[in-house]
Structure 1
Amino acid sequence: MKNIFQIAAIFLLLIGCGDKTSEASATEEQGEPSGIVVTQDQFDTNNLVVGPMEQRTFPKMVETSGMIDVPPENRASVTPFMGGFVKQTSLLVGDRVKKGQLLVVLENQEFVQMQQEYLEVFNQLDYLKAEFERNQTLFDEKIASQKNFLQAKSNYQTAQARYQGLREQLQMLNISPSKVEQGNISSQAAIYAPIAGSITKMNVTKGSHVSPATEILEIVDNQHVHLELTVFEKDILKVKKGQKIQFKIPEASEEAFNAEVHLVGTSIDDAKRTIKVHGHLEHEEGNFLPGMFVDAMIMTDTTKTWSLPEEAVIESEGNYYVLKLVEQTDGSYTFERVAVKQGGTFDGFTEIISTGLNETDQFLTKGVFDLIGG
């Protein structure tokens, strides 16, 4: 029995000590300062800035991608009307050419044969015309038969049609019919630039043979470039002509450029469920090249909401925080770390979505990273 009393006494003593220890710990925790305290010297030295939230307009965006392109009239694929061997070319990819500049000279014996046929028909025309007019007169006077008149008429009109056809073909080959009529026949035909621009493809070399409709080279005039964007079907009803576009060329720079929706496609790609959107650039003076890949945002609507500068919001372990000023004295500032939900970001400001903040609250808007890190 004596031992039982001793054990009970020891147990009560331990409980008393435990209560005292807990009270001491609670007292220590209550004595610890709460929040982040910054002295006035630290505030001034680090150029910290405090300010309220602002009501700002944020656009609603449709994310898309695409490429820099040129209108069809600014791109020319140069092909020969008739085949031949490349006799002359001195152009390289990147060379600029003017409209009408000599590009390639082709050589082919068929050019000679065509000119011979043209010259023969040309020389026959005067005779056939005179025969036709003579037989017409005789037929009108009932001297010649209708058969002779119709035969003369047919011969003249056939020759005339062949003359016009060969003349057009020579002009397509850039061979002068007038020179051929004077007896100047050549085995060479020149190809000239249909537009001004830069050579983007060069598929032949001197001596190579090209067939009709084979692409010899390509010319692109990038004085007027535009955006060709691909928008998913789920977003297309939001996109309208005149809406603003912000785009970047991720492989070239982080700079953002501006454009505007000019045309919205009227048909859907069945396989990809996308629609083409055509955008005009605000400034075309940049070094934009057709084929450049772009990431773009189309501003479809706007909303007004509370915001803070981007640097006032910092991410830590997947959460976003701001530093709210809870106390300011002559010698120090006390900030409280407040978790917020971050909305969109635009023009250096971030949407702040939080029910626990109001317009009178003050926040550290510059220097947050230095205090709480990332």
Structure 2
Amino acid sequence: MTLSLARVLYYSVLLVVPVSMAGVVYFSERLPDANADSIVQSAQAADRLERLDGASAAKKMWVCPMHPQILQDHPGECPICGMDLVETGAAHDHHSDSMQIDTALQQRLGMRLARVEPRRLTREIHAYGTVGVDEDSVHAINPKIEGWLSKLHVSTVGQRVVAGQLLYEIYSPDLVQRQREYIELLQRRDRLLDGSGGLYGQTAEVAASLARERIRVREKLAYADISVKTIAQIERTYRAVDQVPVYAPQAGYITQIGAREGAYVTPATPLLSLADNATVWIDIALYPDQLEWVQEGDSVKVTFPHSDRPPLHGRLKLALPTIDPATRTARARLVVKNADRLLRPGAYVDVAIATRPRTELAVPRSAVIRTGRGDRVMLVREGGHFMPVPVLTGIESGDFIEIIDGVQEGAQVAVSGQFLLDAAASLSDSVQRMQTSH
């Protein structure tokens, strides 16, 4: 049932008067006769209004079960959700909690209206990031031959190493045998050169064959992680090196140690892992509603809490398309330069992602009424009616807020004075429930 503002104020006063005949008699004994007559006349006037409402209730209307603001006088489908409209017994049932205010009163109250229409919205997503290792720079170090790890020259994960630094020493009988074969080949070459051993006068083909064999054996030693320095030592001393030293192929820091001194290792043993932090990855935690807005290539600004270090800028690179079941977040990635090595893996940073603009239905921010049971707006209906309608809101961009569901494009909502209308509509609904119960 639709109630005017004057009628709602009348019922709000009438709420304090007992509705039973005993209450009327009780107060009439203590009030002047004129006041008692006024109460009786008001009750009669209310009865006449109820009879008029009952007469207008004969007209049937159809309403959407999910969107009560959709009302028409013939069957059909809801233009918002597509559900079939259901028949309601009376036209005023649809406005049971609405308010009717004429144009003159709207002007005196300073009410302003706005349309639900598409607007260009932007969103800056604030999140946190975790500095991680650039996995493209990780270098796995495995022994190239079986043997015993006789000496390990790195002791802890995170230890910084430089290119060419000694990492470990290995003893391998097979590697010692290869060195001896190489030494024997060097001795044959020497005998050929000085004419001893019965090789004097041999053709140049023998010398060429020895040179090819020397190159082949030398490569086999290099593949077994024998450095150029160690090979030069073997060629100079003609003695095999039992404890073969292995050096770092690049600079970085140790991220994994898979064996300790005395362990028997094979080419399948993940002995060491080395990473370079000249570039690092920043993994950003995004919630599903944020993930819908970000795209690969979005501009990202990285700031450092409790630090005066200038911010870093980069482009977003999406990583994992799945949701982490523990944190209910997805992961996006940012690759940044770390030439000064100040970004350490495991550290936290603040991240601001500037998403690309999107066009969505929106209303002014002041039109949305925030309540403990959800958001709603005061929808403008025909005949000066204002009806509270629940809405599902999205992002806030400037002075506007996205409307995901609840009202359709082109609808008008109250921008100012909506809180007064909402309170009056709630009072109107309470009065009608009281009337129904009595």
Q: TM-score, normalised to structure 1's length?
A: 0.52
1:163 partner SS: helix
Alignment pair present for 1:78 and 2:161: no
1:225 partner SS: strand
- Asked if 1 retains the 8 angstrom alpha-carbon contact of 2:132 and 2:281, the reply is yes
1:161 partner SS: helix
Alignment pair present for 1:351 and 2:414: no
Residues 73 and 282 of structure 1, relative CA distance in 2, 3 Å threshold = closer
Correspondence for 1:163 among 197, 206, 214: 214
Q: Could you tell me how far apart the structure 1 residues matched to 2:211 and 2:220 are?
A: 14
1:7-26 matched pairs, under 5 angstroms: 20=39, 23=42
Work out the percentage of aligned pairs sharing the same amino acid. 21
- Asked if 2 retains the 8 angstrom alpha-carbon contact of 1:111 and 1:186, the reply is no
- Asked if 1 retains the 8 angstrom alpha-carbon contact of 2:282 and 2:335, the reply is yes
Correspondence for 2:226 among 170, 173, 177: 173
Residues 158 and 306 of structure 1, relative CA distance in 2, 3 Å threshold = farther
Structure 2 residue aligned with 1:317: 372
- Asked if 1 retains the 8 angstrom alpha-carbon contact of 2:127 and 2:351, the reply is yes
Correspondence for 2:357 among 301, 311, 316: 301
1:356 partner SS: strand
Q: Could you tell me how far apart the structure 2 residues matched to 1:210 and 1:302 are?
A: 58
- Asked if 2 retains the 8 angstrom alpha-carbon contact of 1:240 and 1:300, the reply is no
| 1:356 CA drift (Å) | 2.4
1:184-263 matched pairs, under 5 angstroms: 184-226=239-281, 239=295, 241=297, 243-245=298-300, 260-261=314-315
> Which protein has the bigger strand share?
1
Q: Alpha-carbon deviations, 1:39-73, whole Å to 9, x = none?
A: xxxxxxxxxxxxxx9xx974368999998655455
- Asked if 2 retains the 8 angstrom alpha-carbon contact of 1:244 and 1:258, the reply is no
- Asked if 2 retains the 8 angstrom alpha-carbon contact of 1:69 and 1:226, the reply is yes
- Asked if 1 retains the 8 angstrom alpha-carbon contact of 2:393 and 2:401, the reply is yes
| 1:262 CA drift (Å) | 6.6
Correspondence for 2:180 among 116, 119, 129: 116
- Asked if 1 retains the 8 angstrom alpha-carbon contact of 2:254 and 2:272, the reply is yes
Higher relative contact order (CA 8 A, sep 6+): 1
- Asked if 2 retains the 8 angstrom alpha-carbon contact of 1:83 and 1:108, the reply is yes
- Asked if 2 retains the 8 angstrom alpha-carbon contact of 1:59 and 1:301, the reply is yes
- Asked if 2 retains the 8 angstrom alpha-carbon contact of 1:244 and 1:298, the reply is yes
| 1:112 CA drift (Å) | 2.0
The one-letter code sitting in structure 2 at the alignment partner of 1:195 is Q
Q: Could you tell me how far apart the structure 1 residues matched to 2:266 and 2:163 are?
A: 24
Alignment pair present for 1:100 and 2:153: no
| 1:165 CA drift (Å) | 2.0
| 1:173 CA drift (Å) | 1.7
| 1:224 CA drift (Å) | 0.8
Q: Could you tell me how far apart the structure 2 residues matched to 1:18 and 1:81 are?
A: 110
| 1:244 CA drift (Å) | 1.9
Q: Name stretches of at least 5 consecutive residues in structure 1 with no aligned partner.
A: 1-9, 28-52, 137-151, 249-256, 270-275, 323-336, 365-374
Q: Could you tell me how far apart the structure 2 residues matched to 1:202 and 1:134 are?
A: 56
Residues 240 and 109 of structure 1, relative CA distance in 2, 3 Å threshold = closer
Q: Could you tell me how far apart the structure 2 residues matched to 1:318 and 1:221 are?
A: 53
- Provide the alpha-carbon RMSD of the alignment: 5.7
Residues 258 and 212 of structure 1, relative CA distance in 2, 3 Å threshold = same
Q: TM-score, normalised to structure 2's length?
A: 0.46
Residues 101 and 215 of structure 1, relative CA distance in 2, 3 Å threshold = same
- Asked if 2 retains the 8 angstrom alpha-carbon contact of 1:67 and 1:290, the reply is yes
Q: Could you tell me how far apart the structure 2 residues matched to 1:177 and 1:80 are?
A: 17
The one-letter code sitting in structure 1 at the alignment partner of 2:394 is G
Q: Could you tell me how far apart the structure 2 residues matched to 1:156 and 1:73 are?
A: 45
The one-letter code sitting in structure 2 at the alignment partner of 1:121 is L
Q: Across the two proteins, how many residue pairs are aligned to each other?
A: 272
Structure 1 residue aligned with 2:66: none
